[in-house]
Structure 1
Amino acid sequence: MTDIAIDFETDTFPLPPPVLPVQATLVDALRQRTSSRSFSRDPLSAEQISALLWAAFGINRPSSHGRTAPSAHNWQEMDLYVVLAQGSFRYDALCHRLNLVKAEDLRAITGTQDFVGSAPLTLVYVADFAKATPASPEERHFLVGADAGCIAQNVYLYCASAGLATVVRGLVDRRLLATRLGLKPSQRIALAQSVGLPALQ
């Protein structure tokens, strides 16, 4: 990863202001949206990570802390974990920064497919079911899944507009990854999504 210097005294990295590509229209992004499992090993820049996270689930209405993706009942139960070679981080959308969770490379356990360990970045969508109330267990699972899907589609559209490759994944050893990320019992992993530059053909 380039251009990122983590403050290990506070275990945070403030991201640069998000700058999204302006050359692609929504129609262009929808036409180019695709899943790819072939990634360059080159790291993403701090600027690319900043724009990616803001597009995924950033604050787009500061006065109300509104997000770029909807949240059922406004639960705001979803956290984005960013898994990189340098470590795993939780995205703090309000401050637009990364908070260090684990200073080790956990990419290989973010999924069961061979490519996940070499993709430069994986987003892990973690829902805190303690925030998803009141609702029946069935309704909570359904709505949490819908919330994760909305964020994943934002990532797809951003990647299509920015020339990045991505694929969303449900094949995750959730128990193992949750343990390594230090998640609480109320937190559950919904999906994971790999992102990177496309592999050269």
Structure 2
Amino acid sequence: MRILILMVMMGLVSANAAAEEDAVTYASPAAAIKLPEARINGGKPLMQALKERRSSRSFIDKELSDQELSDLLWAAFGINRADQGKRTAPSAMNMQEIDIFVAMQKGLYIYQPERNELKMVLKEDIRAITGKQAFAADAPVNLIFVADHSKMDKAGEMKEIYAAMDAGYISQNVYLYCASQGLATVARGWFDKEALEKAMKLGDGKSVILAQTVGYSE
């Protein structure tokens, strides 16, 4: 009888745990930010944006709107040829191995260009871990470019080089968008890579390549 009672109790605990897990899974879509369609017209001419491109390390406490985030991320590495799934920045062998994570005060998100949304990864504010400069902790947006090496089998020994190149293309797109829209930005390689990857809870085969801060300048 005791064994039977124990089995029933264990079953109830398991059922409750499963229900909680299902509840979390069911609630997860609410954590995503559905972005408005990116505005692909307007902004400064390319040559003017190139003239004004610069690195800024001074930011004010002003968040970017969802529209600005959408425009920024589309310019960085969005889909510009929907029928082919091709992107605004080149990638070696079209591996598209770079994911853009967005660290903000309200949490860490990953950009999903196919859905044009930001999916929440963590609720924690990890901006301070994205860089060793003080401004990274308070700037509204820190982009983190992560290479998924599982998509790079055909790259062979060139994985690290290709990932760095591809992240660089995306970073330059961010620079040009910011110059076009009057935003401040700076690409950064000075961060504790191990601590950042741990804070982001990155899985095996994924590594941080570069970070880039975006916001409004003083």
| 8 Å Cα contact 1:21/1:161 also seen in 2 | no
1:179-198 map, 5 Å:
179-198=198-217
2:10 aligns with: none
Note closer, same or farther for the CA distance 1:8–1:25 as it changes in structure 2 (3 Å cut).
Answer: farther
Q: State percent identity of aligned pairs.
A: 44
Rg larger in structure: 2
CA RMSD of aligned residues (A): 1.3
Specify which structure has the higher proportion of helix: 2
Listed one character per residue, the Cα deviations across residues 8-50 of structure 1 (whole Å, up to 9, x for unaligned) are 5412111011114614100010000000000111111111111
* TM-score (norm: length of structure 1): 0.92
| 8 Å Cα contact 1:41/1:119 also seen in 2 | yes
Output the amino acid matched with 1:26: L
Note closer, same or farther for the CA distance 1:163–1:9 as it changes in structure 2 (3 Å cut).
Answer: same
The 1-side partners of 2:27 and 2:116 are apart by 17
Output the amino acid matched with 2:202: L
Q: Which runs of 5+ in 1 are unaligned?
A: 1-6
Listed one character per residue, the Cα deviations across residues 174-197 of structure 1 (whole Å, up to 9, x for unaligned) are 111111111112001000000001
Runs of 4 or more off by more than 3 Å in structure 1? none
Q: How many pairs does the alignment contain?
A: 192
Alignment counterpart, residue 52 of structure 2, candidates 29, 32, 37: 32
| 8 Å Cα contact 1:21/1:162 also seen in 2 | no
* TM-score (norm: length of structure 2): 0.85
Output the amino acid matched with 2:106: Q
Listed one character per residue, the Cα deviations across residues 49-88 of structure 1 (whole Å, up to 9, x for unaligned) are 1100000000000001110001101111110000000000
The 1-side partners of 2:187 and 2:43 are apart by 25
Counterpart check, 1:114 vs 2:134: yes
Q: Offset of 1:136 from its aligned partner? A: 3.2
Q: Which runs of 5+ in 2 are unaligned?
A: 1-25
